[in-house]
Amino acid sequence: MKLPRAAALLVDFTRLLRRHDFPLSHEQVVMFLGAVRLLGPHSMDSIRQAALATLAPPVDRLSEFDALFRAFFCEEGDAVLAARSLPEEKAPVRDKGLGQDKPPEAGDTSRSGKAATAREMLNLRRFDERADDPAIGRLNKEAARALPRRRSFRKVASKDGEGLDLRRSLRRIVEHDGDVIALMRSRRKPTLRPIVLLIDISGSMKAHTADYLRYAHALTALAGKVETFTFGTRLTRITGALRRRRRDLALANASALVGDWDGGTRIGPALQSFLANPRYTALLRGAVMLVLSDGLERGDPAPMREAVARIARRAWHLAWLTPLAADPRFRPETAALKAILDYIDRLGSGGSIASLVEHTLKIGARP
């Protein structure tokens, strides 16, 4: 569907911000368009206020945000000069087209995962249909009793309940004309804990991406609340796509949603983008969070460490599952992985569906 010209211009601005490493989620872009519509684009200031309120640029990057805003919407001379003073890779460029990068050159893909390519591979990823992995069968069989649970606030009748069920007791007393036959007791009903999956789809994880998505699809069908996101150079929510019953259709829909398959890795900004959205942050309360990534972050590991620390304070269980740990000789040697060891509950193997299922079924045994 083709966007109206005014809306397309606003979307192009968010693409510009993403190209300059501002972490933005799809929901934030939608909220930005809605805010501009509510405020009315009467002036550049109203658009700027809508952008600040919904896109939430980091405080320490407000000057860069304003320079990009003026260069894009106003093309002011001082903004262009300010942009030129930035490093070349950060300099804002007004995109008068659709805001899309040029197709990547042959051999331009970063397979190491340590650096994101300047031109991302915006291609449609296709997944070969395979027979079910035996580990998926094990997950289907054991998940109902093994997945972690918590006590909900909903109460159910129980002879051995920890408290009185006043409502049912009063109803029974009324039914017996005021005679107290027996007081009813209740207990809090157990319910499955929500699960949040973050899947690294960068070039270095290409060999594992298909298995991770098959695992996520199977888990989504079994557990009540499962939210799945992918990240490479940006964060994408694919929960709705994976709720399709047929796996081939679910993976095809997910492939169409994601635009940064097999590119570079920006783990820290992706996690910060997740935390910048209040709706996503609310998902973490009492949840199990599994990050499926090799942890090969480029640049400063501080944003990744800070984001993982914030997630750990909210989630009930946080595990980082990396395919590198499938090797028994594996030791976390990168600065990023070392920085997060104090905040995660487990650094484990994510080298196969079987290892993912093994960890998933053991989470419920945690005291």
Beta strand pairing call for 195-200 and 185-192:
unpaired
Q: What is the mean pLDDT of residues 289-298?
A: 91
Other CB atoms within a 10 A radius of the CB of residue 35 amount to 19
Give strand pairing partners of 127. Answer: none
Centroid of chain to Cα 230:
6
The CA distance from 225 to 49, in Å, is 35
pLDDT one-digit tens code per residue, 226-241: 999 999 888 899 999 9
42 by Cβ neighbours in 10 Å (0-12 / 13-18 / 19+) ranks as exposed
Residue 119 confidence (pLDDT): 43
* CATH 3.40.50.410 segments of the chain: 134-145+193-363
Question: Residue 181 pLDDT more than 50?
Answer: yes
Residue 82 confidence (pLDDT): 41
DSSP assignment of 319-354 equals: EEEEGGGGSTT----SHHHHHHTTT-SEEEE-SSHH
Cβ–Cβ under 8 Å, residues 267 and 276: no
pLDDT one-digit tens code per residue, 307-345: 999 999 999 999 999 999 999 899 998 899 999 999 999
CA-nearest of 348, 273, 336, 344 to 315 is: 344
| Location of structure tokens 């090969």 | 296
- Here the tokens at position 353 are 């569906």
Residue 112 confidence (pLDDT): 41
Question: Residue 352 pLDDT more than 90?
Answer: yes
Q: What is the mean pLDDT of residues 32-41?
A: 83
pLDDT one-digit tens code per residue, 102-143: 333 434 433 444 444 444 444 567 776 776 789 999 999 998
Cβ–Cβ under 8 Å, residues 336 and 302: no
Cβ–Cβ under 8 Å, residues 125 and 203: no
The CA distance from 103 to 98, in Å, is 13
Centroid of chain to Cα 108:
26
The CA distance from 76 to 78, in Å, is 6
Largest CA distance in the chain: 86
Question: Residue 288 pLDDT more than 50?
Answer: yes
- Residues contacting residue 335 through CB under 8 Å, at least 6 positions apart: 297, 301
Check residues 289 and 119 and name the one with the higher pLDDT: 289
- Is 3.40.605.10 the CATH number for 134-145+193-363? no
pLDDT one-digit tens code per residue, 146-170: 898 887 777 777 777 777 777 777 7
CA distances from 170 to 41, 117, 174, 175 (A): 59, 68, 6, 9
Residue 283 confidence (pLDDT): 93
- When mean pLDDT is compared over 91-100, 162-171, 263-272, the highest value belongs to 263-272
Give strand pairing partners of 291. Answer: 198, 320
Q: What is the mean pLDDT of residues 67-83?
A: 59
Rounded to the nearest integer, the mean pLDDT of the chain is 80
Cβ–Cβ under 8 Å, residues 364 and 337: no
Q: What is the mean pLDDT of residues 57-67?
A: 83
Residue 367 confidence (pLDDT): 58
Residue 19 — pLDDT band, cuts 50, 70, 90? Answer: confident
